[in-house]
């Protein structure tokens, strides 16, 4: 049985620079990479969100322009 964590993390939009939130729904017990697209709540441009879960459960988030 795995424990799922749902957290939000603050990021800056790579288009307009405004702060935004990314909801993370990742299993910290399963290392790996997750990639999805989310639109900015301010300027509506799409972001590519890359979430990396390390072997010890550390989570990192990177947001970049869609298609970059």
Instruction: Write the pLDDT tens digit of every residue in 8-60.
Output: 889 999 999 999 999 887 777 788 998 999 999 999 999 999 999 998 888 88
Domain boundaries, the chain: 5-65
User: What is the per-residue pLDDT for 37?
Assistant: 94
Report which secondary-structure segment, H or E, holds 11.
strand 5-12
Residue 4, pLDDT > 70, answer: no
- Please, what is the Cα angle at 62 between 32 and 2, to 5 degrees? 35
Neighbouring-strand partners of residue 49: 36, 63
């Amino acid at each position: 049985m795995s424990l799922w964590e749902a957290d939000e993390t603050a990021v800056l939009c790579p288009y307009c620079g405004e702060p935004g939130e990314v909801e993370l729904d990742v299993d910290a017990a399963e290392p790996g990479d997750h990639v999805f697209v989310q639109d900015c709540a301010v300027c509506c441009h799409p972001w590519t969100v890359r979430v990396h879960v390390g072997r010890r459960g550390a989570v990192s988030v990177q947001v970049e322009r869609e298609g970059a």
